[in-house]
Structure 1
Amino acid sequence: MKIRSLLRSTFLAAALVPVMLAAPLSAETLSNDDVIMLLEAGLGEEAVIAKIETSDGNYLTDTANLLALRQKGVPSTVIAAMVKRSVVPVEMSDSSADPMAPHFPGLYLFDEAAAQPRMWKIDPTSSTQTKTGGILGYALTGGIASASVKAVIPGDKAKIASRVSRPVFYVYFDNDAGNSSGMFSTGFGAAIQTPNEFSLVKLMEKKGKREARMGSMNIGGAKAGVMDKDQIAFDYEQIAPSVFKVTPLNDLEPGQYGFVFAVGGGVGPGLAGSAGTAGARVFAFGVE
């Protein structure tokens, strides 16, 4: 009988082992009092800081509580570790309709016509493929007629399109972190700082591609960048540090458009061996 009871207990214990192993340990959440208790128990600063850094914490870190911790002998290094663990990471969005909400750096189309308003992040296209237009007239007239230099954007249409004729855009720069290697970089360590450095243009639609005129040349010289006559006027206002609202001054006809800026170049031998830039970055969108 004792043997049978012993075997039954053994089997029961064996059956409980996997359950015990599978059961998650309850997560420990430290508080101000826990930190004080650990220090009073004789744990060194390094050990307490390691515990703080590897455990969940619910610390009171307002001015009054920080002073209270210091008065109880909590070292400044330990208090600093508690404060760091109390900082909640800022959640970035790529769709929030609230312009004041933190967004990832980029240019966004505000979709006010959607059932639930939201923003669409427009990914930039870097165009390093270029072509010249009017070169025959340029050659036949000895340079009196202008030849244009165009940036080529692959694809018939942009992925993002507005359903209103005067769309609203928001630009989120990341000036604090630096843009020298980001989407707003113009090359050579420089970067776009405000929408004033963009050009809004209507893209010429070709089979399987879109084009933006980025320069011209004639007997009188060469010009780099978007021509004044090709630029579409827009207004912008700063609504927060490094955040701008951009709106065209007039309604846009259905078609393909883009906010364009030149990348890494200037006047002189460049695109297609003529005036222009080494490339262009285009935030392309459509208007339906």
Structure 2
Amino acid sequence: MKRICLTAALSLALSVPAFAETLTLDSIIALCSTGIGDEAVIAKIKSSGTHFDLSTDQMIELKGKGVSGPVIAALLGGADGAPKPAAMSMDSPDAMVPHPSGVYLLMSMGSGARMQRIDPTVTNQSKTGGIFGYALTGGIASMSIKTAIQNETAKTRAAVNRPTFYFFFDESNPETARQITTFASGSTAAVSSPAEFTLIKMMKKDGRREARVGSANIGGVKTGVMDKDRIAFDYEMVRPGVFKVLPQAALAPGEYGFIYAISGGGSNGAMTARIFDFSI
């Protein structure tokens, strides 16, 4: 009878799964020191569901005690062994924090700083100026081509006359690169540098803002921002896909914008452009 009870108890114990073991850093170090191999240690980490939010110092210490890089990565990634992507922010002033792609203005606040994302304004309305002089001189005098956007002032306003901007491109967030990008322009070429943008000052007129994006005379038609209308700015890479941008000189009060993707594909042949607009 005792033998039957013992057999039943043993069968029951074997049929009940053991609770997942909670690993510690010391136990990970001990496992690695036995030489059983990374695959076995990583499998143990996965099965236990262990996850550590390791600091830089802890990672260095683990490496110094013989824990391999793949094992450390598994500790950071938790049960699936894959590193968890950092949470995105829309307003963190830290450029190392992931942000959705776009152009951001660094805003100084009473309690600190934050970034404000500038939504691009797309226009497909164009007009001409200087027609009288063009006609009077038989096309010797140039006729300007302007693109217009609604409202006399931008929603985003800089508090200083030499504001700081950050450009986040798709490269900064590889996991979102397959999604629709802020910088989509109908072109297959990827936008990846502030050098592809032009900083311009816009003119207020009758409830809208205008920017010159071309000229025409007897010699032909030019499209794009004229050299004399360009405002110089500097930029530097903070990390892959992220750039810090500063105007080279203080900007006078007025309406401005970073413009790119000028084309003639608008309705009725109108000039189109995407402008990240702001005011001083």
Q: Same fold (TM over 0.5)?
A: yes
1:249-272 superposed Cα distances (whole Å, 9 cap, x missing partner): 000001110000124459xxx787
1:222-256 superposed Cα distances (whole Å, 9 cap, x missing partner): 11110000000000000101000000000000111
> Gaps (5+ residues) in structure 1?
1-39, 44-51
Q: Which residue of 1 aligns with 2:158?
A: 162
1:280 aligns with 2:276: no
Name the CA shift for 1:84/1:163 in 2 (closer, same or farther; >3 Å).
Answer: same
SS in 2 for 1:186: coil
Number of aligned positions between the proteins: 230
Indicate if the aligned counterparts of 1:156 and 1:210 stay in contact, CA closer than 8 A: yes
Superposition pairs of residues 85-234 of structure 1, within 5 angstroms: 87-112=83-108, 114-175=110-171, 176=174, 177-178=176-177, 181-234=180-233
Distance 2:201 2:236 in 1: 22
Q: Tell me the TM-score normalized by structure 2.
A: 0.70
Percent sequence identity is: 45
SS in 2 for 1:205: strand
State which drifts further: 111-120 or 227-236.
111-120
1:107-137 superposed Cα distances (whole Å, 9 cap, x missing partner): 0111135442111110001111111111222
Indicate if the aligned counterparts of 1:106 and 1:122 stay in contact, CA closer than 8 A: yes
1:260 aligns with 2:259: yes
> Gaps (5+ residues) in structure 2?
1-13, 49-73
Indicate if the aligned counterparts of 2:42 and 2:81 stay in contact, CA closer than 8 A: no
Letter in 1 for 2:240: P
Distance 1:72 1:91 in 2: 28
SS in 2 for 1:203: strand
1:181-237 superposed Cα distances (whole Å, 9 cap, x missing partner): 422123231232100110000011112111111111111111111000000000000
Indicate if the aligned counterparts of 2:203 and 2:210 stay in contact, CA closer than 8 A: yes
Distance 1:147 1:141 in 2: 11
Name the CA shift for 1:138/1:223 in 2 (closer, same or farther; >3 Å).
Answer: same
Distance 2:93 2:276 in 1: 19
Distance 1:180 1:225 in 2: 28
Distance 1:145 1:108 in 2: 39
SS in 2 for 1:161: coil
Distance 1:189 1:58 in 2: 50
